[in-house]
Structure 1
Amino acid sequence: MQCFVGVSKNKRDIGLLLRIVGVCLALTIGEAWAEEEALLTKLNINIDGARGSLEKNIIARLPAYRPPCWADLETMGKFQRALQNKLKRAERALGYYQSSNRITFINDETCWKVTAKIVPGPPVRIKKQRIEIVGEGRQDEQLMAVFQKSPYQKNDILNHKIYTDYKNNLLEMAQQRGYLDARFQTKQIILDLQNNSAEINMTFVTGKRFRYGNISVAQKILEDKYLRRFVVIKEGEYFSSAEMIRQQQLLQNSGYYAMVSVAAKYEAAKQQAIPIVITLKERKRNGYKLRLGYGTDTGLRSKASMERRWTGSSGRRLNIEVGLSQRINELKTQLTVPKDDPDRNNLFYTASYKQENNDDVESENFRVGIVSTSLRDSDWKRTLSLSYLDDRTTVLGESATKSRLTLAGVKYSKVKADKVLFPDDGWRIRFEAEGALDKVLSDASVFSVSLHGKKVKKIGEGRLITRIELGKTFGDELDDLPKDLRFFAGGINSVRGFNYESLGEVNDDGNVIGGRNLLETSLEYEHPIQDKWSAAIFADTGNAFDQTQDTTLKLGVGAGIRWRSPIGAVRVDFAVPHDDTSDLHLHLSIGPDL
């Protein structure tokens, strides 16, 4: 870089000239520093002769520090010795004890070029292994299952990571199962380098299995009889680190406490009984939230909520929520009653008032009910409900239809995924059914079922996302059904390329009135672009219809951009109906894929 500064006799210019000189010096120094940084990164190490896992391990263990390009011979000699040490460690870790390495470095007047010529030699192989477990743990099926997974087979190459992982897994399982005094009495690898062989000797002593001793809980919210619902560990039962973690999470998830400490006092244990001390600090009793947003299905929206985190010493929680948007206004209240094992089982008393308008059909309803949820051992979530619905549905230009229904419902749902927010492999399924009987606190007999399924599968670098939605309502004529029991299609979570609830049966006035049947499918491929960004192409098809013989499926196609935010994928989609590519629709959504 070059700076040119003219000399002035005007005293007023002296300050300006000094500032210009300062800027030039800073830029010149900065450029020189950038050139120096570039040279620092040019020193490269070429690995020759190693292949596969050996090459990867050597590269992973190369020295973090590398001399600058202008380093002298003494510095390069020190680096050569450090590199030789790293190479030996990397080779021996994979069983190559007889390797030879030749390191050369040449300066081509721009930088040093370092080459490491690797001759691995014959690897050390396992000749014999003697692994023994002693103590009460021999009768523990879970511990023995880990023990019986031998680290090596005869003639396997000695990989030290496999040896270390086996030891750690065995010790970790013993600790989880309550064998807190477990230790390795013997742990050795005996090398015979003349014959390139090794023997493994291990003796693992489990000691006695510990139990929970006295369990004390310090807190001020719940009565003891209600607190017991949240304490899953029991005095006298075998100690388990997994159960200790579950106990911590259960108390944290209760919503009552700002600080949770579950401590095992190992040093105070007597006769293998460990005292457990649980310390809890309550949260503020009331919590408030206000959220503003926009969705292409709902338009501008706001939501305000108040949570009474406990209404009394029984631990019941009260939630009141008000949601306002251009299409849906709703007031909801929910009283939560914890049951035994409240992380898996709860009872809810609910009441709601909702106004909804999709331009063609308006509805206004009041619903009150009771809901019971339970998480099964198979991770299926079962929801049983009983509710009373008082509904007024009005199709544009027609008189209102009133419904009073007492609905009994059941729902089963399950999600399985390798990751919570951005799964590469996973699925979600949900089945729902609810119905009412005429003259049983209802003015009609009606029964509705629906099935939802979604799957994510990694394909190459991208992901394939498929979805299916089925629904059917039995009972009254479509015109007599409340809007909540009709099906509609179209929108961000339905058939993209069409407006929210714009697909369904059409009456004589051209208004979409929904249908008693629903069929939707979706196929999407998402491919990563850079960092947290990806692109997607998709095709959605489906419709809501009254008679199965009159089925006409609508097709929407499009493309979109995805950004992986901390709370889930932000999706921006552009889609058009297949039969009218000039009708472009924008769809926005955010949240996890499953």
Structure 2
Amino acid sequence: MFVRRLRGFDRPTFARALPRAAVALALSSTILAVETHKAAAFEIFGIRLWGSSKEDDADVVDPLDYAVTFEVDTTDDDLRKAIENASLLKGEEERPVSGSLGLLAKARNDRERLVAALFSKAHYDGVVNISIAGKNLDDLAPDAVFDGPQPIPVSVTVQPGSMFTLGDVVLKGDAANIRGADFGLIAGGNAASDAILKAEAGIVRALKEEGRPLAKVTSRTIVADHATTTLDVTLDVAAGPIAGYGETTVEGTEAVDRDFTVYMTGLERGRQYSPKEIDEARNRLLALEVFSSVSINEALALNPAGEIPIDVRVSERKMRYFGAGATFSNTEGAGFEGYWGHRNLFGRAEKLRISGSIGRISDTTELSKLNYNAGIMFEKPGVIGPASKFFANAKVSFEHPDAYDIFSVKGNTGISYELDRRQTVSAALAVDYSDIEDALNPEGKRYLLVSTPLQYAFDNRDDKLNPTRGFRALAYIEPTYDALNGNAFVKLKGEGSAYYGLGDQNRFVLAGRVAMGSILGAGLDDVPADRRFYSGGGGSVRGYAYQGIGPEIGGKPTGGLSYAETSVEIRYAFNDKIGIVPFIDAGTVSAKQFPDFGAVKVGAGIGVRYLTPFGPLRVDVAVPLNPGPGDPSYGFYAGVGQAF
């Protein structure tokens, strides 16, 4: 049997006798150096607003242009795309390099990247050839000069070869009793370098979850059998001792108090080490929003007390910020918001945010009928442990939706607490003074509400801005007493949403939402109009007007004591930026305490999503499928974020 160990560096048959150095590149998560470019022009959402692309290259010394011919001998589109995406020569073809040495360096770097891409797809006998100006890269002198006419021709050809599968899998050392199959290491299984790295990380993680912070793979032997296209893998793993946390040190803090940062990690000295707690500590520090990056690393050795010291390194963000936002709907008009905030008011990640907004622009021509809001918010983390947060809010509103006219002053204060990474509870005390005119109280009525909102939330979504897996559930109860009118009622709400991605890249995501609510203990006219339930509009049943679903008096919505809504979306991503979303929504509002589902309204439509780092930009168009006499013929909605 012909067996080839992956070592040596046979230049003429580079990818047939793949070098151990190349395998190490693919199997050790090495970060490759890439060229960086100073951006002199300004772009937003991938659209250049000013400046030319040439400005980006103004600082390149001795710029040299080149043109790439790229060939991949395969009919596998996924493999072809992975190889092409790995090539910086191809991806940055329009950017000049810094002279002949820059082109040579980029070509050599590209060859390593292409080999790593082949390994990541389990192709260990591929051939990568790169030539510059008609000469093979290996035949060029280290100081070769390309002084011919530009662009310099560059040719890249890739023959992927065969796809390998796993052969013999041997786990040695402290991993000898671990089943490789539990981590995907099984004869005939996936031999991709990514899969092997993932299995290694899983084995080490499993040992660390036993409280062993020094667990690691001490050696790795990879043998490719070209005759059988199999890859034999031998891993030697050292578990190390069980240990508790030692001292936690922090570097990188300037404006943020260092001791507070240590406290917020929650890594109590002496408690048994847990990689899950390390992850939670990192997420908790990032959630403070005062750090742009957080890394938490265990020391390489235990201290004399047998504990593992923890090193935290952070980079601080700018603490002051301001911004603006806008929304638009043909049924609700346009809205604008401005805000100013401070992320670190007193040095311990205290947040202060002041905001104001105007709504219903273009929906009315009377300034007195626009919606006006102003508010201030304060948060202080870590008041009763790292997982807690104190909050206080105050808001003044003067609004004129279709259902009512309201002037209100509201304030609340409370505490939220993370039971774990997925579960959060909160409790608050709220006071709300309002003066409201609506269909049931046309002369106006004043209220002074004192309530205690309580909430439980479960959230295991993989991405809060654009989820592809997981679900979110929320339960809300708010006992309320009206001190001016002597009424009491309890508001109950429940909501759940689920997400399921299809395919390796989650190109299709099925998303669904259900929500229900009920108000108990008071009649419809005793509940303030802004506390009743409404449905319709961009955040609920698209295709209908805001508050357009439910009981009416004289054509004016009254709201209800109960509601139910559901939505289903199929989110399809054309590429990494653009997506299309067909959807259907349904909802009902009832004057009774429980939904009777006697008048369910249904809307359907399609939307476009443009993905940005701060969430998808959303544009939806919907039509009502069973419209009433006063319903619009269609609804148009634009904003930031998915519908749910």
- TM-score category of the 2 structures, normalised to the smaller one: 0.5 to 0.7
2:635 aligns with 585
Q: Are the counterparts in 1 of residues 501 and 509 from structure 2 also a CA contact under 8 Å?
A: yes
Instruction: Return the alpha-carbon distance in structure 2 between the equivalents of residues 310 and 123 of structure 1.
Output: 53
The residue number in structure 1 matching 2:20 is none
Which one of 324, 347, 359 corresponds to residue 358 of structure 2?
A: 324
Q: Would the aligned equivalents of 1:146 and 1:173 in 2 still touch at CA under 8 Å?
A: no
Change (3 A) 1:336 1:532: closer
List per-residue Cα deviations over 1:255-275 (Å, max 9, x = no partner): 445776766664895565555
| Pair 1:561 & 2:604 matched | no
| 2:476 equivalent to 1:422 | no
Higher helix share: 1
Question: CA 1:60 to 1:504, structure 2 compared with 1: closer, same or farther past 3 Å?
Answer: closer
Structure 2 residue 430 is the aligned partner of structure 1 residue 387: yes
Q: Structure 1 215/272 Cα, relative in aligned 2: closer, same or farther at 3 Å?
A: same
Residue pair 2:124, 2:162 contacting (<8 A) in 1 also: no
Q: Is the 8 A contact 2:545 2:632 kept in 1?
A: no
Aligned to 1:482: 528
Letter in 1 for 2:625: H
Structure 2 counterpart of 1:299? 333
State the AA in 2 paired with 1:585.
G
Separation in 1, partners of 2:322, 2:255: 23
1:522–1:538 Cα contact (<8 Å) kept:
yes
Aligned equivalents of 2:263 and 2:639: distance in 1?
A: 38
Q: Hey, what's the Cα distance between the residues in 1 that align with 2:427 and 2:250?
A: 33
Give distance in 1, aligned partners of 2:620 and 2:533.
Answer: 23
Q: How many angstroms does 1:277 deviate by?
A: 5.5
1:73-92 mapped onto 2 (5 Å cutoff) = none
Instruction: Give the equivalent residue in structure 1 for 2:173.
Output: 133
Give me the identity figure in percent. 18
| Unpaired runs of at least 5, structure 1 | 1-35, 67-82, 100-113, 139-143
Counterpart code for 2:337: K
Is 1:519 matched with 2:559? no
- Quick check: 1:533 aligned with 2:567? no
Distance 2:190 2:574 in 1: 40
Q: Structure 1 residues 403 and 236, CA, compared in 2 at 3 Å: closer, same or farther?
A: same
Give the number of equivalent residue pairs: 503
Please name the residue that 1:79 is paired with: none
CA separation of 1:246/1:578 partners in 2, compared to 1, >3 Å: closer, same or farther?
Answer: closer
Q: Which residue of 1 aligns with 2:394?
A: 351
* Partner SS for 2:530: helix
Q: CA deviation at 1:341?
A: 7.4
- Determine the C-alpha separation between the residues in 2 that align with 1:314 and 1:190: 53
Per the TM alignment, residue 352 of structure 1 is displaced from its structure 2 partner at its CA by 2.0
- Rounded to whole Å, the distance in 1 between the matches of 2:607 and 2:228 is 62
| CA deviation after TM superposition for structure 1 residue 496, in Å | 1.5
Q: Which amino acid aligns with 1:492?
A: G
Query: Which residue is 1:20 aligned to?
Result: none
For residues 499 and 230 of structure 2, the distance between their equivalents in structure 1, rounded to whole angstroms, comes to 47
1:150 to partner: Cα distance = 7.5
Tell me the distance in 1 between the aligned counterparts of 2:232 and 2:610: 52
How far did 1:446 drift?
0.9
Looking at structure 1, the residues matched to 256 and 160 of structure 2 have their Cα atoms a distance apart, in angstroms, of 70
C-alpha distance in 2 between matches for 1:459 and 1:431:
29
Q: d(CA) in 1 for partners of 2:279 and 2:417?
A: 21
Q: Which runs of 5+ in 2 are unaligned?
A: 1-65, 91-110, 127-156, 361-369
1:313 to 1:588, Cα distance in 2 relative to 1, 3 A = closer
Amino acid at match of 1:589: G
Residue 149 of structure 1 deviates from its aligned partner by: 3.9
After superposition, give the CA deviation of every residue in 1:14-46 in whole Å (9 maximum; x if it has no partner).
xxxxxxxxxxxxxxxxxxxxxx979x56x6747
How much has 1:237 moved relative to structure 2? 4.3
In structure 2, relative to structure 1, the CA distance for the partners of 1:537 and 1:312 (3 Å cut) is closer
Q: Note the C-alpha offset of 1:319.
A: 2.9
Shift of 1:204: 3.3
Question: SS of the counterpart of 2:263?
Answer: helix
1:70 maps to which residue? none
TM-score (norm. length: structure 1) = 0.67
Query: CA deviation digits over 1:265-306, x for unaligned, max 9?
Result: 648955655555557776666x24131413226533333333
User: What's the Cα RMSD here?
Assistant: 5.0
Q: Structure 1 residues 378, 212: CA separation in 2 closer, same or farther (over 3 Å shift)?
A: closer
Answer with 1 or 2: which has the greater Rg: 1
